[in-house]
Structure 1
Amino acid sequence: MKKIYIAAALLLSGNALFAQSFSRTDVGYTPGDNYTMYVSDYVNPGTTGTGVTWDLSTMTNNSQVTVATTANSGGTFPTANVKLTQSNGGAIYYNVSSTKMEVVGIDANGTIFTYSNPATYLQFPVNTTYNFTDAAAATFTVSGFAFNRTTNTQSEYSGTGTLITPAGTFTNVIRVKSTQTNTDTYAGGTINSSVIAFNWYKAGVTHELANVSNVTGSSTSQSAYYTSVPANLGLEESELINLLMFPNPTNGTIVVNSDEVISKIEVYQLSGELAMEQTVNDNSSEVNLSELNSGMYLVKVYGNNGAVSVKRISKN
């Protein structure tokens, strides 16, 4: 019954959120968002609390699963308006509204889960008092056996702070813990399983930054992954490289000096859109901003050692 547990893990493997309080307009699966899940060895999910630093930088990159988020209309699950398709063959169908995100169907590599009572995954708004329980029901067929599944899920706030993954360091992150219990009945008896999943989320991204899960049933398994992120997620002022950047404000050219060799400099609009970039292989470089409109920009500097610093600069 391996596919049953795979499907349980699929259900709890994603979504996105953050802020002290946010609505659907802040986060949530959105058609057009394509990203990569980097499947890792299991890591400890860390502690609950405020101001926590979750250091998951030891996550490995054992394999990659690409995820495409598209609009859904009609088909097997006509009530779904968003579909997540994974390159390993899995797909999850969501009905996303201003008040909640709910799962209405799952395709676990050909095993189809149809929900007569959708599984609510998120309710909006989400904040530090976030806590809800939900009951769901679904049917599916495995090896010719028809199954009826009842599911109970509790989803709760599980801390705020800083998350570190191989994809970067992210501040103002919230962690959500979901506990899902499943009872599957069929002609041969009953199968019980449970999934405890931790997901980390940040405003400005429509999918999770990382996931750590434990699945318990006839056997026990653990899993973890981190994800690729939009470029603008790393655009928080930070100084992991010692930099001198002048003049600020500038009428055109700025000079970037560092005590480390610089490999690349990128200039972003505050919206996260890349305005320009240049390759560097020196401790110092000039960057010509004369073609850019007046306004505020973020300059992202990459060191040869992998460290990154971001500074805000004003262009007159």
Structure 2
Amino acid sequence: MKKILLFLVLASYSLVAQTPIWHYTFDGNSSPVNPSGGYGGSLTKVSGGTTSASNFGVDRFGNAQSSLIVKSDTNNDFTYYANLANLPQGSNPRSFSFWVRYKNAGDQNFFLYGDTASTGNMYGMSIGTSNSICYIKTAQNYTTQFVNTQFPHYISLNTADDDAWVHYTITSEATNTNVYKNGVLMANHSINLTTSGTTIKFGLSNLDNNNANSSLYFLLDDFKIYDQVLTETQIRQMYADAMAFDATDLVAYYGFENNLDCTNNSNYNLTAQDPANSYYNPGVIGQSREFTNNPVYNDVLGSAIDNGEFTIMVWEKINLLQSGTDYATVFELGSSLYARRRQSLFRTAYASNATTFVNEGTTILNPQATWVHHTVTVKNYGGSFNAIYYRNGELMSKTGNNSATTSIYTFVDRFVFGGGLDAAGNFLVSKNIKYVNLDEAYIYNRVLNQSEILATMYRTTLPAVLSNSNFELKEISLYPNPANSIFTVKVPNDTVKNITVIDLTGKTVLTATSQTVNISALQAGMYLVKVETISGKTGIEKIVRK
């Protein structure tokens, strides 16, 4: 019921969200709901009969019987089909949005729909054995590969079922198809669509037979079908809408708005190693801090972090990749826990005692010239104390198992962004990052779940608890808002000097020097408007392009 209510509320009130024509919530229920609250065709097990409690597993919030179990078994009790009216036909626009929790490596067939009597005219998605390939299927013997080696699939078989979920969105119109993972575009291709039929199957690779791959095993949740193409802005807004901001156990937040202040606690303000060289550029929200051989630090922050259970997250954009022999450290706690790049891998680890570091968790490097979100959570996972690394909200690596300790060992209380220390707390030049920008850093004394991580990633404005002191301009009027083409900026008792319009990826898409701005060339969605006045004050407000 919680997902149905959330679906109806968001469909009614979100400015940028679109309404799915069908939504399978899988809250112990195998029937999809439409925008008016009516139900569609219920799933039938391939073995025959309706679903039961045994067909539902744990969802990404930890709720029992709230996701669909899809797997291969001798009785075909965990593969499904349904007849569903109004599925997008021909080359009509469409979007499919769903969450997956892999339970096995190998081929995974997510969904496929069309006409069971035809070997063509179908549409569906699957994942191959390669860790960077997915497929869109449009005919019995025709699939299109979507490859992006920067976004491998990490199959986590030793963490809880409420962890390691991945969100996919597939959009198609005319001859253009996009595949997004956790709101990030993986790849796009030109595909001719001739879809025909209303039979939809889950876990099967063909419509004319019911043979499942032996490797099939995943959990499926929140499966939504749209009769329109979702924009990247609308996809990312779904994450922010799904989870309210929770400041519980927030230790420190840094917006890097032309300063190194900790917004919620000035005791944790940062200091630059070289204060004379401080540079800021447009970031994910407002400004971001540029780092080149100039780490920033706080000498007491480490003592405020609970070494047994915490979360650290920050956005990063690499402008130029530095030498692979460097220990390019994004952040470091107490000369112990680190997140860094070295020798073509992104690495995380921590000291378990004064002489021992646990085995590193490793994954491929994050791509250059684009904003990437890093999150490290630390806690005891099923008897092993691990640091888990997420990139763009997806679990990518975990440190080696450690059952001997239940907290990290720190050598000093100093916390560093953009560099690192030796055991005595002295800066090491080899750990400095170069040609990098960081933005929107959060440190919590609790472990955030994946939905909270994604909601924080794609939040386009700061929660009120964090935003009061970030900008000098508190009263900015944008009207009309939403706007079709032109909006006007008004600031009381001041004059507008510069206006910058920024999309949700942090990219500047428009600049202006007058208070009237034309956004007719932009895609529909939400944008940030940065306003600078002739008195030198700055502020941020959001605008919706209809």
With normalisation by structure 2, the TM-score equals 0.25
Counting strand residues as a fraction of each chain, which structure ranks higher? Answer: 1
Greater relative CO (CA pairs within 8 A, separation 6+): 1
Counting helix residues as a fraction of each chain, which structure ranks higher? Answer: 2
